[in-house]
Amino acid sequence: MPHLFDPSKIVDGKSHTKRHLEKVRTWVAKRMPQTGKAPKISCKEVLCGDPTCAPVDTVIDLLFEDQSRMVALPYEAQDVTEEILDHLFPPHEVLTAWMAGEDAPWPPPPNDELRFEVGSRVECCVGADHWEPGTVVALWYTEEGFPPGFYAPYQVELDMGNLIFAPDDSDRCIREALSLETLNVSDGA
């Protein structure tokens, strides 16, 4: 008869997550400039009940001498790769400014050209390997509660009716929607 509850699985799950968080912390430490006093680095997973964000974020806290900074990655720790970190983590010049106690914006201010326009049909990653179709309804979206200076490249209304935001303008987060003809062919219709 199978066991319905195995407490050791819960401990193993926590241990598994801890290993992945430590891996991310190590990668972050390698990316810190070698000038000045290195910040204390902590990593944690944060469950988000807000339907406009990823279900689980990996949050990196950087505690400098006179300030703290937070970088949130819209991925579970087990899904974070060095490539993702290279793409979403502040570059060397921003980290150097933060270490010197200077204010440097991250993510970059919204003057970058975006791939999609309002009205574009897209698919958004809403979980590990789970994509939902929708329509871009706003560019450089911000709202109360976002960190100062944070703008999401896109706000998207999913076909299921939810409003979400895409925190990054990359194919890992938001991509062009497949055409209806392609969907019908792939579904065998």
Tens-binned pLDDT, residue by residue, of the chain (189 aa): 444 544 444 444 567 889 999 999 999 999 999 877 889 999 999 876 555 566 788 889 999 888 888 888 888 899 999 998 988 899 998 899 888 888 777 766 566 789 999 999 999 988 777 899 999 999 988 887 776 567 889 999 999 998 999 988 888 889 999 865 434 333 444
Do 127 and 178 lie in one domain? The reply is yes
State how far the alpha carbon of 12 is from the alpha carbons of 19, 80, 127, 159, in Å.
Answer: 11, 19, 22, 37
pLDDT for the residue numbered 186: 39
Do 130 and 163 lie in one domain? The reply is yes
Do 58 and 136 lie in one domain? The reply is no
108-126: burial string, b at 16+ Cβ within 10 Å, e else: eebeeeeebeeebbbbbbb
How many whole angstroms separate alpha carbon 56 and alpha carbon 13? 15
Q: Is residue 14 part of a domain?
A: yes
CB atoms within 10 A of CB 35: 10
pLDDT for the residue numbered 147: 64
pLDDT for the residue numbered 148: 57
Do 20 and 77 lie in one domain? The reply is yes
Do 94 and 149 lie in one domain? The reply is no
Containing structural domain, residue 82: 7-27+34-99
E-state strands within 19-178: 40-47, 56-63, 68-73, 121-127, 130-141, 152-158, 163-166, 174-176
Phi/psi zone of residue 7: left (φ > 0), alpha (ψ -120 to 50 degrees), beta? alpha
Tokens encoding 180: 């209806």
pLDDT for the residue numbered 43: 94
Closest CA to 124 of 71, 77, 170: 170
State how far the alpha carbon of 65 is from the alpha carbons of 26, 32, 149, 183, in Å.
Answer: 20, 14, 21, 53
| Number of domains forming the structure of the chain | 2
pLDDT for the residue numbered 6: 45
Q: Which residues, listed in sequence order, are joined to residue 43 by a DSSP beta bridge?
A: 60
Q: Is residue 106 part of a domain?
A: no
How many whole angstroms separate alpha carbon 68 and alpha carbon 60? 10
